[in-house]
Amino acid sequence: MQTPSAPNLTPGNRPPINSAPASGVQSQVRPNIANIGGAARPAVPVQAFSLDDIITRMVNAGDGVSDLLFVVGRPPQVEIFGKLNGVEIEGLMPTLRPEHVEAIALRIINENERLTSDLKNHGSCDTSYAVPELARFRVNIFRQNGYHAIVMRKLSTKIPTCDGLNLQPIFKEIIKEKTGIVFVTGATGSGKTTTLAAMLNEINQQSPYHIVTLEDPIEFLHPHIEATFSQRELGKDFSGFEVGLRAALRQAPKVILVGEIRDRETMEIALTAAETGHIVFSTLHTISAAQSVNRVIGMFSSEEEPQIRQRLTDTLRYVISQRLVPKVGGGRIMVNEIMGSNLRTREAILLGESEIRNFHEIIESAAQAGWNSFEQCLLRHYKEGTITEETAILYSVNKSNMRKAIDIAKKDMGTADSSPSGFKLMDHEEAAPAFSSASPASHSAHAAAVAAKAAGAAKPEPPPLPKLSLRPAPGA
């Protein structure tokens, strides 16, 4: 019996993305597809493969898979808790060839004109992809060294909650804001979208509002509970964030989520929305509250700076900067810096930072309001035993202050090493066996005994004072 040949999936003959294949034929990706924006490469006899099968194997490679990477010269890789791991896939080993990655890219693009144009003209494009009954992915396809490369971020299907993420109590106060702008900032992959989804979920549980989201792409599909969601995706529902945000002002929202503010025009409209009775949530790729304020001001010209400082003073409600750090026992935990709005922060935004006013000091002095700096958050996790001392210092902003805080915490917890050096003073009973010619086993036994003695010995009672008898002096 003759084996049926694989379907021809060259451009113009591929089925729609995620569409069901023809009866009895498995949807496959062939690696001999013409290059976008360049000359076709010669066909290479490589075994046909199913993209969904590849993605399924990579996602199931271990617990905690967050990203899938396809880069020429490396095997297919997954990121697990911040570290890359190769995945062996037959036909794609030992490393990916240019035609492999190109075929996967074209399968995901699926002849979409916008994506094809973005990749050709700008060198990258953003889209989404879904494997039924497995997961949805946020996808970035880009070119590096003349070849295609792909990064796929695995999206959670479960809507996060503030309690589930162990967010501080102040987050439930942040969502009560009715007007203004709230920034969640951090590097790519630091969980900004997840934090925002948890906050919108809290609003959805409590408030009958219309919530309009502008996303690239849609990551969490919120159900309609108390609130009504209108979730719009860049490229499918609107052409640019500035266009979508301007239109949102006419869609009667109470809450607006802007996936990312990337330029001056979008920021201008976001500030206008915040000034006209809306609460706006958005993200920035900055690592601290101070840097976030400077980034916003830097989007405008120097002539506009005084006006922008005044507008930001009036509209900024909170800046939440966050990062993921390694956790004791494996995995990662989120640490953050939270700055709200009070008289001192408004003064610092309006007049700029100086020796007598800086955001870091203002944040640390407002702990009673629920704010915290990165150092305060790291120190709390260190005291709870969820991160190590090394991690706390490595991810802190001010490392010298972090070391001092950890030393104080050690003394408070009774774990500080108070000896002046690496040498330990021992009494004669401890020193004699320590330097004897006993076997290594006896040395270990003695060390354990000394440790037990040091741990359990009670402080010796002082000798009793001599009893004095008071007698009258002769002749008295």
- Whether 100 is in a domain gets the answer yes
Half-sphere exposure of 318 (CA within 13 A, CB side): 27
User: In 106-209, which ranges are E strands?
Assistant: 124-131, 135-144, 147-155, 180-185
Domain boundary among 355, 372, 389: 372
Residues 287 and 149 placed together within one structural domain of the fold: no
Q: By CB neighbour count within 10 A (0-12 exposed, 13-18 middle, 19+ buried), where does 476 fall?
A: exposed
Residue 282: pLDDT over 70: yes
Residues 209 and 331 placed together within one structural domain of the fold: yes
DSSP state of 287: S
For 57-114, write each residue's pLDDT tens digit: 999 999 989 999 999 999 999 999 989 999 999 889 899 999 999 999 999 999 999 8
- CATH number assigned to the domain comprising residue 4: 3.30.450.90
- Say how many C-beta atoms besides its own lie within 10 A of residue 452's C-beta: 10
Residues 89 and 206 placed together within one structural domain of the fold: no
Q: How far is CA 82 from CA 68, 295, 333, in A?
A: 12, 27, 11
Domain boundary among 345, 372, 399: 372
Q: Return the structure tokens found at 386.
A: 């969820």
- Whether 208 is in a domain gets the answer yes
- CATH number assigned to the domain comprising residue 197: 3.40.50.300
Q: Alpha-carbon distance 200 to 213, whole Å?
A: 10
Residues 255 and 320 placed together within one structural domain of the fold: yes
Quickly state the pLDDT bin for 44 (edges 50, 70, 90). Answer: very low
Residues 58 and 102 placed together within one structural domain of the fold: yes
Domain boundary among 104, 122, 155: 155
User: What residues does 316 pair with on adjacent strands?
Assistant: 181
Q: Alpha-carbon distance 328 to 386, whole Å?
A: 5
Cβ atoms of residues 114 and 216 within 8 Å: no
What's the confidence (pLDDT) of residue 449? 46
Domains in the chain: how many in total? 2
Q: Alpha-carbon distance 32 to 48, whole Å?
A: 10
When the pLDDT of each residue in the chain is averaged and rounded to a whole number, the result is 83
- Whether 178 is in a domain gets the answer yes
Residues 38 and 148 placed together within one structural domain of the fold: yes
- Whether 476 is in a domain gets the answer no
Residues 149 and 200 placed together within one structural domain of the fold: no
For 18-42, write each residue's pLDDT tens digit: 433 443 444 444 443 334 434 444 4
Q: Return the structure tokens found at 250.
A: 């006419």
Global pTM reads: 0.73
- Say how many C-beta atoms besides its own lie within 10 A of residue 81's C-beta: 16
Q: Alpha-carbon distance 107 to 29, whole Å?
A: 7
Phi, psi of 74 (to 5 degrees): -130, 155
For 162-211, write each residue's pLDDT tens digit: 999 999 999 999 999 999 999 999 998 899 999 999 999 999 999 999 99
Residues 4 and 151 placed together within one structural domain of the fold: yes
Residues 116 and 177 placed together within one structural domain of the fold: no
DSSP state of 271: H
Cβ atoms of residues 325 and 391 within 8 Å: yes
> 467 CB contacts (<8 Å, ≥6 apart)?
none
Average pLDDT over residues 430-445: 44
Q: Alpha-carbon distance 437 to 443, whole Å?
A: 9
Residues 75 and 212 placed together within one structural domain of the fold: no
Residues 214 and 86 placed together within one structural domain of the fold: no
For 248-262, write each residue's pLDDT tens digit: 999 999 999 999 999
What's the confidence (pLDDT) of residue 461? 56
Average pLDDT over residues 283-309: 96
> 57 CB contacts (<8 Å, ≥6 apart)?
87, 89
Half-sphere exposure of 329 (CA within 13 A, CB side): 3
- Whether 475 is in a domain gets the answer no
Q: Alpha-carbon distance 226 to 238, whole Å?
A: 26
Q: Alpha-carbon distance 242 to 253, whole Å?
A: 16
- Give the domain range for residue 253: 171-372
Q: Alpha-carbon distance 238 to 232, whole Å?
A: 7
- Whether 265 is in a domain gets the answer yes
- Whether 338 is in a domain gets the answer yes
User: In 236-367, which ranges are E strands?
Assistant: 255-258, 279-284, 316-326, 332-339
- Say how many C-beta atoms besides its own lie within 10 A of residue 368's C-beta: 6
Q: Alpha-carbon distance 91 to 30, whole Å?
A: 11
Residues 123 and 179 placed together within one structural domain of the fold: no
Half-sphere exposure of 447 (CA within 13 A, CB side): 9
- Whether 206 is in a domain gets the answer yes
Phi, psi of 413 (to 5 degrees): -85, -5
